[in-house]
Structure 1
């Protein structure tokens, strides 16, 4: 139940329960009073019989001298009182005092004749009125009042019981309300405060919060979700910070070598030593080469940073896949003669794509240059663009076919595969991180380059709505696959 509805219901019950309990206690008290009254009346009825017999004498209902009522004084006791009235309402005798003179005390007719024959049960007394007849004529009315002695003696005990029951009920009600509030509010608030304190101290909460479906449960769940999100954000910030520190350290290291070379050659050129024209030209070429290398490293760092920004957007254009990729991969046909390798090229697509041509060309260049550095002499390098509804080429590593089919579901793969040494697993899982380069285990050397090529390629793939993965197997080589979303079949191809 929602907490607000539970509180509304609880407040209603707390307000109604005392009323209900008071009504029940009052009803129980009245029931006990009635039962006790009947018992007392039965006990006193034996005492009333001689009194009623004496008061039924018609001769008493006249204005007499006090001596005429001397016999009635014997019936008087501390618990029973009686009075005699004429039909006109004049009281002729009362056991509480002397006889009144005529007209000294009268009772109104309505009051005198009210509740005849009916036993009136009051808090302290019983009262009974009856008429007295003589020869069919009403001559008087007597009223007997009996004091409820046993009842009055038990008032203090009953009062104690009533007060005790009321106090017990209040304590139970108060305790129940506190227990329910603790269960519904105080305990979840305590959990929340403890988890907030633990989070502020940087500690992970170890207690398991029970599953709740009210507002407090939702609040606890949202706080836990907020903690997870903040921790993930902190982890991402720490990872990015370490990445930046690594990038700065790696860039500083990579720039140090060309800077030292530039410094050394500049000193030679500016020195007193007479250099030949060819030597001077050679030194200048070295200087220019190092400057170009530094410019390339800085350019790639700028590109990597720009691609990682969430605010950077690339202007995409829609292209026909077969024509675009034939042109893109066609520029690499000269690799076979230049690198003494066998290049196998396949373009199998009739889909449309939204691409940034320059960035996609950069992605392909980075993958192919990386593959060239690791392809053995006279080895085979495969280049391919395969749409989701086409078969994979024959040169793909056989054990990867099923996995690639699942990976490319609904998308096109850009494939670059080389024959060379396998990349160890511990290096492969970090191969797309910046400044992480494959180390040749035989020569104990790194692949060369700036260390950002594959990182830039993956970020370009992500900007295109795709992804990139890499596999490496001993005896086969390494395969890089870029997943590119498709945007429908090319209509012109269908018409042709």
Structure 2
């Protein structure tokens, strides 16, 4: 139940419960009073019978001296009193006070004849009025009043019970309200404060216990947990980026040290050895130029990697016809492969248009191809293909990889670059797109060279195009790098990648 509805209902119940309790107490009191009255009436009837027998004598209802009835005062006591009236309302005798001074009092006939034969039950007394007849003629009326001594004696006890019951009721009501408020408000608020303190101290939050609440406090707790997870995820990403930057700086410093030392050594040789031959001096200059070029390349790749990782950087996309662009793009690599004595298998199968940044996409393909040539064995085979979502995969693709590739390329055109050679171990394959992570070739006893940013730059270019990049590797078939690009008019690639990542 929503908290506001629960509070409205709780306040209504708290308002109505005292009224209901008061009504129940009043009903119980009336019931007890009626039961008590019946019992007292039975007892009273036995006690009043002798008195009524005396008061029914007609001779008492005459204006005469009280001394003529010496037995009447004996009937009265501290609990019982009575009055005698003539039919006209004149009081001829009273058992209370001085009979001489109180006799002769006249009561209105309307009051005198009211409630005859009816036992009047009052808080402190019982009252009974009855007429006296003689030979069919009304001669007088007597009124007997009896003090409810037992009832009066029990007032203090009943008051104690009523007060105790009221205190107990309000105590239970207050305790119930506190328990409900604690369950609906205080406990969730305490839980939220504890989680906030835990988060402020940087400690790991405890798991959510119990069922998830469906009210506002439950939603608040869930939103705080979601915010906490988002902040922690952001902090982890910031820490990861910071470590990545530190690693990049350290790796770049290490990579720049070698060419700098080489440049320094050859520059010093040029400045000091004036007897060197012209050919040797030219060779020194070429070595210095190569190292300077290598350093420029490393710094340029670092600048590109940093720019591609920025959220503010946007590539100027243009729409191109796929087959024409990719034929031109892949055509330049045929001569490169043949010059290095590699056999290249090339295929372009696409009829779609694409929104791309030509220069960056050329850089992506160039990085993948040079990476494949770098790791391929001498005189090996290189596979290079552009396949859209409706075309079949090339025959040279490993059969064991076809099923995964078909699932991966739904709604997308893929760029395939495959090289022969030993498989990349899974532990290295998982981190292959991280900056400065290179495959260690055991056959060549080391790394193949390069800056270590080529695959990282390629993957960031793919992401900027709304695509993705994966790599598969297996024994006897080598390694295949796959870049997926969304096709115009088919926007399902990003959604498919998201679902696939969630499944992983």
Compared with structure 1, are the counterparts of its residues 36 and 488 closer, same or farther at alpha carbon in structure 2 (3 Å cutoff)? Answer: closer
Equivalent residue, structure 2, for 1:288: 289
SS at structure 2 position matched to 1:180:
helix
Cα deviation code 1:413-466 (max 9, x no counterpart) = 100001123222221111100011111102222111111000000000011111
SS at structure 2 position matched to 1:270:
helix
Answer whether contact 1:374 1:421 (CA < 8 A) is retained: no
Number of equivalences: 489
Measure, in 2, the Cα distance between the counterparts of 1:27 and 1:100.
Answer: 46
SS at structure 2 position matched to 1:378:
coil
More off after superposition, 354-363 vs 224-233: 224-233
Answer whether contact 2:92 2:104 (CA < 8 A) is retained: no
Measure, in 2, the Cα distance between the counterparts of 1:441 and 1:393.
Answer: 30
SS at structure 1 position matched to 2:348:
strand
More off after superposition, 171-180 vs 394-403: 171-180
Measure, in 2, the Cα distance between the counterparts of 1:102 and 1:488.
Answer: 118
Compared with structure 1, are the counterparts of its residues 166 and 488 closer, same or farther at alpha carbon in structure 2 (3 Å cutoff)? Answer: closer
Answer whether contact 1:335 1:343 (CA < 8 A) is retained: no
Q: CA deviation at 1:102?
A: 8.8
Equivalent residue, structure 2, for 1:441: 442
SS at structure 2 position matched to 1:130:
strand
Measure, in 2, the Cα distance between the counterparts of 1:208 and 1:23.
Answer: 45
Measure, in 2, the Cα distance between the counterparts of 1:101 and 1:265.
Answer: 149
Compared with structure 1, are the counterparts of its residues 102 and 204 closer, same or farther at alpha carbon in structure 2 (3 Å cutoff)? Answer: closer
Equivalent residue, structure 2, for 1:3: 3
SS at structure 1 position matched to 2:334:
coil
Measure, in 1, the Cα distance between the counterparts of 2:441 and 2:40.
Answer: 114
Answer whether contact 2:248 2:435 (CA < 8 A) is retained: yes
Equivalent residue, structure 2, for 1:259: 260
Q: CA deviation at 1:148?
A: 1.3
More off after superposition, 232-241 vs 245-254: 232-241
Measure, in 2, the Cα distance between the counterparts of 1:369 and 1:39.
Answer: 114
Answer whether contact 2:94 2:103 (CA < 8 A) is retained: no
Measure, in 2, the Cα distance between the counterparts of 1:210 and 1:152.
Answer: 58
Measure, in 2, the Cα distance between the counterparts of 1:356 and 1:336.
Answer: 25
Answer whether contact 1:2 1:215 (CA < 8 A) is retained: yes
User: What is the aligned-residue RMSD (CA, Å)?
Assistant: 1.9
Measure, in 1, the Cα distance between the counterparts of 2:100 and 2:130.
Answer: 21
TM-score by length of 2: 0.93
SS at structure 1 position matched to 2:69:
helix
Q: CA deviation at 1:103?
A: 8.0
Answer whether contact 1:89 1:112 (CA < 8 A) is retained: yes
More off after superposition, 230-239 vs 298-307: 230-239
Equivalent residue, structure 1, for 2:144: 144
Q: CA deviation at 1:359?
A: 0.7
Measure, in 2, the Cα distance between the counterparts of 1:97 and 1:61.
Answer: 19
Q: CA deviation at 1:87?
A: 3.1
SS at structure 2 position matched to 1:334:
helix
Cα deviation code 1:32-81 (max 9, x no counterpart) = 11111111111111222232232233332232112123231232223211
Answer whether contact 2:414 2:483 (CA < 8 A) is retained: yes
Answer whether contact 1:2 1:214 (CA < 8 A) is retained: yes
Q: CA deviation at 1:111?
A: 2.5
Equivalent residue, structure 1, for 2:223: 222
Answer whether contact 1:418 1:478 (CA < 8 A) is retained: yes
Uncovered stretches (5+) of structure 1, i.e. residues with no partner? 490-496
Cα deviation code 1:256-303 (max 9, x no counterpart) = 111112222222233362343333322222222222211111111111
Q: CA deviation at 1:136?
A: 4.5
Equivalent residue, structure 2, for 1:210: 210
Equivalent residue, structure 2, for 1:194: 194
Measure, in 2, the Cα distance between the counterparts of 1:222 and 1:427.
Answer: 38
SS at structure 1 position matched to 2:88:
coil
Equivalent residue, structure 2, for 1:268: 269
Measure, in 2, the Cα distance between the counterparts of 1:41 and 1:417.
Answer: 114
Equivalent residue, structure 1, for 2:237: 236
Measure, in 2, the Cα distance between the counterparts of 1:347 and 1:208.
Answer: 53
Equivalent residue, structure 1, for 2:153: 153
Answer whether contact 2:81 2:95 (CA < 8 A) is retained: yes
Equivalent residue, structure 1, for 2:500: none
Equivalent residue, structure 1, for 2:497: none
Answer whether contact 1:420 1:476 (CA < 8 A) is retained: yes
* Equivalences for residues 73-222 of structure 1 within 5 A: 73-100=73-100, 105-206=105-206, 208-211=208-211, 212-222=213-223
Uncovered stretches (5+) of structure 2, i.e. residues with no partner? 491-504
* Equivalences for residues 294-373 of structure 1 within 5 A: 294-373=295-374
Q: CA deviation at 1:192?
A: 2.3
Measure, in 2, the Cα distance between the counterparts of 1:168 and 1:409.
Answer: 73
Equivalent residue, structure 1, for 2:26: 26
Measure, in 2, the Cα distance between the counterparts of 1:403 and 1:194.
Answer: 47
Answer whether contact 2:94 2:102 (CA < 8 A) is retained: no
Q: CA deviation at 1:474?
A: 1.8
Measure, in 1, the Cα distance between the counterparts of 2:389 and 2:218.
Answer: 46
Q: CA deviation at 1:322?
A: 0.9
TM-score by length of 1: 0.94
Measure, in 2, the Cα distance between the counterparts of 1:102 and 1:38.
Answer: 33
Equivalent residue, structure 2, for 1:493: none
Measure, in 1, the Cα distance between the counterparts of 2:102 and 2:80.
Answer: 25
